[in-house]
Amino acid sequence: MIILIINVNHKKCSVSLIINEKISYLENICYKNGNDHILLMIKEILNNNNLKINQLEAISFLNGPGHFTNIRMNISIAQGLSFGMNIPLISISILDIIAYKLYKKKKVKKILSIVNSDYNEIYIGKYQNIKGLWTIYKKKISINKLFNVKDIILKSCFWIIISLKGYLNIKLKNDLSNNINLFDEINSIDMIDLTIKYFNKNNVFFNKNINPIYLKKKFI
């Protein structure tokens, strides 16, 4: 198993390389020119492990919901490398990543991932573990239908809400504050476990049209 994981967010670029059970990781500040930074980091991490791009068995990247520049950069780099070498791709949702991070940390079995698109819309992922099997439901809903989110919580025994710092607006924080957990920005290390799971399940695809999910606004 040789898999490259890439991630560009608004603060940092990071790349991880999985070689069977060995993990290599590089991170750099990249407020500007993230594309140049990440390409140099990919070259460095491959050189450090005496590998060439055509030896990769897959490339993993985030597909949103996220900000246009970051998500577009992740996709274009992954597609560019994949197209030239016919390398399979693994696309991962940010909602899935933060839900999985919370599960690993607290072993909870009912999780709501929430990311605001703007003041009027949110993306929500509902994850529930029933007898060892996860059921997953993802949807974009209007903020004026926020009662639907509260209904999900009230009708369930116990739900834990997870989001990213800066991606949840104040109204939602205040309404649901008792159950909210916030993580910092995602980096490529956070993507390793799900990348391996998707790869082992052959949940990969070759270069094709990708439907990214873009956010409209960042909340601080």
**pLDDT one digit per residue (tens) for the chain, 220 residues:** 999 999 988 778 999 999 998 999 999 887 666 677 899 999 999 999 999 999 999 999 999 888 888 899 999 999 999 988 899 999 999 999 999 988 888 888 888 888 877 667 788 888 888 777 777 878 777 655 554 555 555 554 456 777 777 666 645 555 555 567 787 788 999 999 999 999 999 999 987 778 888 876 554 3
3-state secondary structure of 174: helix
The enclosing H or E element of 28 equals: strand 22-29
List the chain domain ranges: 2-93+187-200, 94-183
CATH tag, 94-183: 3.30.420.40
> Which fold would CATH assign to domain 2-93+187-200?
Nucleotidyltransferase; domain 5 (3.30.420)
Asked if residues 111 and 44 have their Cβ atoms less than 8 Å apart, the reply is no
